[in-house]
Amino acid sequence: MTEYWVENYTNKFTSSQNIYEIALSNTAGSVGHDLRYTLPFPRYITRAKGSKIWDVDGNEFIDYGMGNGACFLGHSDPDVLDAVKKTLMDGLHFGHDHPAQVEWASLIQKMIPSAEKVRFVNSGTEGSMLALRIARAFTGKNKLVRFEGHFSGWHDYVGKGAMYPFNESVSLGIPQSTLDTIIVLPADIKKIEECFLENSDIAAVMLEPSGGSWGRVPLTKEFNQQLRELTSKFGIMLIYDEVITGFRSSTGGYQKLTGIKPDISVLGKIISGGLPGGAVVGLNGIMELFDYKGDAHHDRYERIHHLGTFNANPLSCAAGIVTLKKIATGEPHIRANEIAEMIRNGMNSILEEEDVAGYAYGDTSCIHLYLENSIGSEKKDRNMLYTNDPVKLKCIPEVIVRNYQKNLHLRGIDLLSYTGGVTSAMHSYDDVEKTLKVFQDVIQEMKKRKILTKI
């Protein structure tokens, strides 16, 4: 790789490069999560506090990744750390249910409208796996409708739809018979209804209610309301993947913000305060499929079987309880939403000032950025840039994404993924000022290198 920033990058992150050379010999694929793979090498983070993270070379970053969106209170919240430390003194893991598990479930039940009953899992991916098992068990049907660009974990039963081309498998190793159970559609109510009319074997629709890839391809409240009405009409389960939006969109997630209640919801990330964890929640008449009845035939053949060694483990419970109690006040959202809006508005002012083809967008505490290298030689109205096309929004040219990310890293800004990020209750006005200054520097640098061009 010989791009202009590479020498500065290797000089600034030397220790990370050295660690990566070891990782190449002992870590499959060289990284622990595909989103962490980057050229020429990833940075290795060693510490986090508030809105900042520090790498192995001692470099400080304003963090808009926040533990892949899990740390809504900010990194290393002192009350969360204290709760985990106290729990730690009693043991790491009991292999039994414990009182904190029941307290945690009660908090979720009070906060999330669809959470009449709660079942704990260890991650968002596990949650979406279990949610689909519930839907198939309840309806007696097999197929799942997904929308273009939506992500709900990495397991086989969501094995197409997240990546372009949307109707092709996202990975090697997924059986064609499994892929055949997934129907991928554009988020178009007319086409969805046509699909429902043509296919009698649809168990569920599962989607990110704010839009694909945590709102990068946004959806409206009106679309969600129409979808709720349509799924109810056809007896199809509506599953909300609220792994990102749960507790971020509002104290009760996207569903509380909009008043639209799904049948089942998948929760993760924020729910366990930065530790591994998640939950599937749903209406009583659905979740009773987990119940034992003391009848041998029923308990073997007529209920949902679900295990998980670390489900609702004591440390995740402790962190989750403290986190949700703070979130229930609504105070963390006030700061996080305000900061995100300031950054989005500031970015758009800079893009207009620099006459660059692009725009920042998002809602609540999410920030997304769309950039083009050109929209043609003819001068056009900036409003013509705006698009809701999942291909355009998810397929910004790689050279733009890579140079945008690396230039931010070199100047002390980190992202959640792609070109976007999230804010927390600990991001400050000073963070906003520094971020916007860096953003303008990066846009100017990319214009100078002709990676971005003027409208």
Predicted confidence (pLDDT) per residue in 270-308, tens digit: 999 999 999 999 999 999 999 999 999 999 999 999 999
- For 28, other C-beta atoms within 10 Å of its C-beta total 7
CA distance 277 to 311: 7
- CATH homologous superfamily of domain 6-74+331-448? Aspartate Aminotransferase, domain 1 (3.90.1150.10)
Task: Specify the pLDDT at position 377.
Answer: 44
Task: Specify the pLDDT at position 417.
Answer: 87
Task: Specify the pLDDT at position 381.
Answer: 65
Average pLDDT, the chain: 95
Residue of 52, 123, 64 lying closest to 275 (CA atoms): 123
Residue of 58, 35, 55 lying closest to 46 (CA atoms): 55
Tell me the C-alpha to C-alpha distance, in Å, between residue 240 and each of 150, 165, 244, 311, 369.
Answer: 11, 23, 11, 21, 24
3-state secondary structure (DSSP) of residue 376: coil
**pLDDT score of 441 more than 90:** yes
6-74+331-448 and 78-327 have identical folds: no
Tell me which architecture the domain covering 78-327 has in CATH.
Answer: 3-Layer(aba) Sandwich (3.40)
Q: What is the DSSP string of 233-291?
A: HHT-EEEEE-TTTTTTTSTTHHHHHHTPPPSEEEEEGGGGTTSS-EEEEE-HHHHGGG-
Please count the CA atoms within 13 angstroms of the CA of 257 that sit on its side-chain side: 20
Q: Which residues of 305-336 are buried (b: 16+ CB within 10 A; e: fewer)?
A: ebeeebbbbbbbbbbbbbbbebbeeeebbebb
CA distance 449 to 267: 42
The letter for the amino acid at 261 is: K
**pLDDT score of 431 more than 70:** yes
Average pLDDT rounded to a whole number, residues 183-188? 97
The pLDDT-based confidence of 199 (bands split at 50, 70, 90) is very high
Average pLDDT rounded to a whole number, residues 150-169? 96
**pLDDT score of 185 more than 60:** yes
What's the predicted TM-score (pTM) here?
0.95
The pLDDT-based confidence of 85 (bands split at 50, 70, 90) is very high
Sequence-separated (6 or more) residues with CB below 8 Å from residue 218: 210, 211, 361, 362, 363, 388
pLDDT, tens only, 87-134: 999 999 999 999 999 999 999 999 999 999 999 999 999 999 999 999
- With tokens 């035939």, the residue in question is 297
Sequence ranges of the domains in the chain:
6-74+331-448, 78-327
